[in-house]
Amino acid sequence: MALVSKLPDVGTTIFTVMSQLAAEHHAINLSQGFPDFPCAPEMLQGVYQAMLANHNQYAPMAGLPALRQALAAKLQQSRDIVVDAETEITITAGATQALFTAIATVLHAGDEAIILDPSYDSYAPAIRAQGAVPVRISLSAPAFAVDWDQVSQAVTPRTRLIIVNNPNNPATSVFTCSDLDALSAIADRHDLIVLADEVYEHLVYDGVEHQSVLAHPALRARSFAVYSFGKTFHATGWKVGYCVAPPALTAEFRKLHQFLVFSVNTPTQHALAQYLATPAHWQLLPEFYQAKRDLLATGLQQAGFTLKPSQSTYFQLADYRQIKPDLSEIEFARWLTVTHGVASIPVSAFYGDGRDHKLVRFCFAKQETTLDAALTRLSALTRT
């Protein structure tokens, strides 16, 4: 067959590679970003009750009205943002589908899209699949701050889209109000669409406040904002997310959405609509995860790692130069998995050029017993 690949240089993701390596060597998997503890029993019961009530057929293409209305109420309550549930919220098959659909909605062959490295690994392939070109701006460690002058200079007549990940995975940094103002000025000056990946919106720590594009009037008018129930409510396997955008952008988004997935799992939508009625289910997440972050951070420091600030997400970046300075990030991640039984992710995987800062990423969305077991294994590093 004369099939010409759209992504000839794309192989298996680093997350699959490291998870497989962890399984082969019976390592504790702190690499892939998924919790190892159960989601709330109320959510499980909600799905079961929805199935028993025969909510097992197609949901409306845009999403269950009750769920979209619950999300509109949540946005107004938590951020004082008024969103039309009918014309501005679309339920998607996970955040990754929402990201791909937004990218495909905006970009045509030959267009350019700006992404900020280190970046989530689905952005560039989705851009390239449209025949467009990803333009990468690298953020510098240790702060991973955006040089907005550099971003502005990267804009060309072919630039159509800028993708931002806030809070950032894997950098764990968060935007300030000044960052949003700078982003808005560039987008307005060059008439760009903004795609904001905000899936970790509730996982921010130490009193830091998440600044959403939806709360910035100028950005709100030109942005797709993407979210994940799986990340928020410890149910990554459910693959349910949503996209919020102005009516005109949403209308175009749905033109593609209806032919990619049409609609999303109906019983889970019913369960999520019920679960969102209790604000504590998301309001208590920072405290819940910050305790896990602090537990992991203490143990990693004792094992010889130098830590980068973790302001958000459920990841911790760790510098290993005092342990094995001669190894590249991928070499160190493999060595740690095979030799000490703890799997991590090399941060170089999130850069287009694979640049190496001697950093690995650990996931702390785990039970305390899992984290304790991993730290016990890593304590051997101080004896090697």
CATH of 14-32+284-383, one of 3.90.1150.10, 3.40.50.2020, 1.20.950.20, 1.10.357.10: 3.90.1150.10
Q: Cite the residue boundaries of each domain of the chain with CATH code 3.90.1150.10.
A: 14-32+284-383
Sheet with 133-138, strands from edge to edge, namely 89-92, 241-244, 223-228, 193-197, 159-165, 112-117, 133-138
Look at residue 274 in the predicted model and tell me its pLDDT. Answer: 97
pLDDT tens per residue across span 330-349:
999 999 999 999 999 999 99
Q: How far apart are CA 136 and CA 154, in angstroms?
A: 9
Give the SS3 label for residue 312: strand
Who has greater pLDDT, 384 or 50? 50
Look at residue 295 in the predicted model and tell me its pLDDT. Answer: 98
* Section 147-155 average pLDDT: 97
pLDDT tens per residue across span 153-190:
999 999 999 999 999 999 999 999 999 999 999 999 99
pLDDT tens per residue across span 241-298:
999 999 999 999 999 999 999 999 999 999 999 999 999 999 999 999 999 999 999 9
* Section 36-47 average pLDDT: 96
Q: Which residues of 191-213 are buried (b: 16+ CB within 10 A; e: fewer)?
A: ebbbbbbbbbbbbbbeeeebbbb
* Section 49-61 average pLDDT: 97
Closest to 68 (Cα-Cα) out of 234, 213, 229, 201: 229
Give the SS3 label for residue 283: helix
Look at residue 293 in the predicted model and tell me its pLDDT. Answer: 97
Look at residue 8 in the predicted model and tell me its pLDDT. Answer: 87
Who has greater pLDDT, 142 or 317? 317
Look at residue 140 in the predicted model and tell me its pLDDT. Answer: 74
**Backbone φ and ψ of 161, nearest 5°:** -145, 145
pLDDT tens per residue across span 119-139:
998 999 999 999 999 999 998
Look at residue 126 in the predicted model and tell me its pLDDT. Answer: 97
Q: Using an 8 Å Cβ cutoff, are 341 and 25 in contact? A: yes
Q: What percent of the chain has pLDDT over 90?
A: 91
Q: Does domain 41-278 have CATH number 2.60.40.10?
A: no
Look at residue 9 in the predicted model and tell me its pLDDT. Answer: 85
Whether the pLDDT of residue 217 is over 80: the answer is yes
Look at residue 287 in the predicted model and tell me its pLDDT. Answer: 96
Is the alpha carbon torsion for 137, 140, 145, 147 positive or negative?
A: negative
Q: How far apart are CA 202 and CA 82, in angstroms?
A: 19
Which pLDDT band, with edges at 50, 70 and 90, does 50 fall under? very high
Look at residue 142 in the predicted model and tell me its pLDDT. Answer: 74
Mean pLDDT estimate for the chain: 95
Q: Cite the residue boundaries of each domain of the chain with CATH code 3.40.640.10.
A: 41-278
* Section 88-116 average pLDDT: 98
**Backbone φ and ψ of 275, nearest 5°:** -65, -35
Look at residue 383 in the predicted model and tell me its pLDDT. Answer: 65
Q: How far apart are CA 209 and CA 198, in angstroms?
A: 13
**Strands 193-197 vs 159-165: parallel, antiparallel or unpaired:** parallel
Alpha-carbon Rg for the chain in angstroms: 21
Give the DSSP letter string of 225-260: EEEEHHHHTT-GGG--EEEE--HHHHHHHHHHHHHH
Look at residue 92 in the predicted model and tell me its pLDDT. Answer: 98
Strand partners, 224: 195
Give the SS3 label for residue 196: strand
